Chain A
């Protein structure tokens, strides 16, 4: 089975969980209110950045909401909250995925990695992060965590991409500052030092 968490699977997941989803109403619920009657189990364990975390997750809650507002992992950004921009990209079982378009309940048994999980225990930056610093890849930085995660995912599946392969591999992440060229420089440098 294709492990990719597609938009289609997301929508199917929403339907299965009994919650209606539109692009504008997938909002974070700050506490345990609004629990629908007969809801599925809410306290779940998920593997985030190598740690098992217990978290109370509403049925229609997106992974981006869980990461940002339940677990305080605000490195994952929301640019559109509807699968258009890639700012929210995280890795789910090594596959770059839009966390705004993934239901947290659907990743219960999977490995989730966000930008916060990349640094080594001694604080060294991941090679992609270091390369992005060296190449001054970010401008405003808002798309950067998503770009970092896409690059990490790309290099895991293709450690020595050509520039064209990197361009294709990163194409799910938009950057309004237009720093694409600088990010590609970073990806190519990371592949070298990786």
Chain B
């Protein structure tokens, strides 16, 4: 289908501000009378605050006040493993205990140094298996796990059970969570190649470039909070609740966010933004709280680590007949997540496993705050499974591409424990397109070729994430000057989807983009509710709402034209500047005229009545504040059924030096299968950025803690090394299948998360290939692991160890 805007590049309105430094992040704001907050954080990985004596600090010149957990939670802290605003019961080193506001940061720090904190040191644990073992320490005060609707609990295995798991055997303890489908036993019986192994994937921090600094002030009873989030309107209500202010008196300001990657999508993962808000209320001054890199490391989130056992069977033709997976998930000191479940569901979706069983137990450790990180679960497991797929192909005498095509998801397929159908799926097409673009046929013969100490390795990886929600709202306004204002509540974290999804509205009204404005950046610009911007959902979710709101506007435009100029609404069309009769286009009204008439007519035309049922509270509030200002399109998106997938395929070739264990990526191509492409440059950026993240997961990133004291040893960029220019290929090839999805009005689905998973899978497969098919069953596969393997040195660290070196 020929579109005006969909599938075309454009300059998103915030890009000039990014290259000139003019766009403002939370820390770039200042306010008259602003004072500065600093945090006192936990000096121990697990403790209980016994006493805080701040008398000397509060008497210091230039100190304005203190905020403690008792101020925030006068009725006691919520009994959940979630991150608190402040706490008296820290379960990770560096967790914020109190904040002091002073005339400047130096004074605040001096005041903090003068506070006498008495804290009871409690036993801590870094590895979930150490906690599971009877007699092992518990990360939380009420146990080592948290059971939904029940609370904290203790989960223990016998020492023999833990030892057996570490030795590579299937765990025998009952799991907290499980599902299965198909006949697992029959699947394994029908398999000609069965592989069984334990595996581990490391946790590591998000490390968004912008620390989660925030500034707040109060004016006329309203709280204005400059913060940082992936989401905008979705943050408003829960953040207002954390601050303790009614939604209508809360303004969240967030023009730009310096990275999110899953950890700034929801208010519960960034409650620290409430600290300046609450301090500001207490001391009646604007408060800026700058967050340091170390603090960002601690409360800024981390991927869940997995310790698992997996058994997978393939039939002689390569069909993945059965998979049995058991995980122990690391919930860290705060938070948690569903990585293991997503990992299993992801395998089911990508490889169409005929029979599957999933089991999981989640255990806390006194390590970083866990939460969703780009492709949580799917991206870790694909790095483990892709080399196993290659092993199966080798053992069964199959081509590595052929085995993937055989198991690939396509239209009409289902996945997961509920056999959920895909809205559409074109994985075989993506695999073939990637093979052509990469020249798989031409290059595959180079696999394992040596040149001196160097050896080539080739890998194919696939990625998946469920990529689309619905049930949100849309607001568009046609202004009396003829411009279209698209109110968009998505956050601005660098995907540009806040702008690209708005173009679906311009498309409906056939308007030039120059005549459209995206209204976003702060909640008092009256935004509709949208989903938190996570789970690769925005492209799918918000093209639906923007398109729907524009359709409502279009219908109203035709209705007004028919009312004023005669005929039926069906007699009218629009051309981007006028609504006119189809039969005689000289009969019509300009967009400005029809907008003006909408305001005069009032009622449903200007948002004053007949609002769609089921509009969200925030949307209703926004519409009430906009009513009468324009001809309005207002829409509540009904729920869709089925699973809109985001799929990716990556091909890569590496050259690995057996003397150093280092490798160079010679070529890398990633193909997206995400429905119709909305914004090619934005999509290419997601694929390239996802590739960099995939490289990090595959070979670099893991956080480390000192086992003696629980000290984080990787709180900076260089210690938990993220990929740099020199760790990534100078060019990453991209492409897309570009076939429309029927559940989206412009055919689009999301892609941000799978963009990473295919790369981590392909790279681990390529390393395994270069090493003759050796399976590390882990991520990351670091240089030391490679060189140890080549040297035949056995790993010295405990098998499956989490949050520390594994050798």
Residues in chain A within 8 A of chain B (CB atoms): 23-25, 27-31, 33-34, 68, 72-82, 84-85, 87, 114-116, 118-119, 125, 128-129, 132-133, 135-145, 148, 163-164, 167-168, 170-171, 173-182, 184
Contact = CB atoms under 8 A, between A and B. Distances in A.
Contacts of A164: 730
Contacts of A140: 208-210, 256-260, 493-494
A170 B725 contact: yes
Nearest to B693: A178
Contacts of B723: 178
Contacts of B209: 77, 79, 85, 87, 140, 142-143, 174-177
A163 B293 contact: no
B22 A80 contact: no
Interface stretch (B308-316, B594-602, B682-690): B682-690
A28 B37 CA distance: 12
Nearest to B17: A141
Contacts of B691: 178
A81 B105 contact: no
A126 B38 CA distance: 38
Contacts of B729: 181
Contacts of A33: 62, 103-104, 106-107
Nearest to B256: A141
B20 A116 contact: yes
Contacts of A181: 688, 728-732
A191 to B, nearest CB: 15
B21 A178 contact: no
Given A33-B104, A34-B107, A163-B730, A136 B24 contact: no
Nearest to A162: B730
A125 B23 CA distance: 15
Contacts of B18: 138, 141, 144
Interface in B685-738: 685, 688-693, 716-718, 722-726, 728-732
- Give the interface size class of chain B: 35 or more
A28 to B, nearest CB: 6
Contacts of B682: 136
B19 A144 contact: yes
Given A31-B103, A33-B106, A136-B9, 13 more contacts: A24-B294, A74-B27, A125-B20, A129-B19, A132-B19, A140-B257, A142-B208, A142-B210, A142-B256, A175-B692, A178-B691, A181-B728, A181-B731
Contacts of B722: 174, 176
Interface of B: 9, 11-12, 14-25, 27-28, 30, 36, 38, 62, 103-107, 109, 207-211, 256-261, 290, 292-294, 493-496, 681-682, 684-685, 688-693, 716-718, 722-726, 728-732
10 contacts: A23-B294, A30-B103, A81-B292, A129-B20, A139-B495, A142-B209, A167-B725, A174-B717, A176-B259, A182-B684
Contacts of A136: 9, 11-12, 15, 496, 681-682, 685
Nearest to B36: A30
Q: Which of A80, A87, A129, A170 counts the most B-chain CB atoms under 10 A from its CB?
A: A80
Nearest to B210: A142
A89 to B, nearest CB: 11
A135 B688 CA distance: 13
Contacts of A114: 21
A87 B717 CA distance: 12
A193 B497 CA distance: 29
Nearest to A183: B725
Nearest to A80: B293
A179 B689 contact: yes
A178 B689 contact: yes
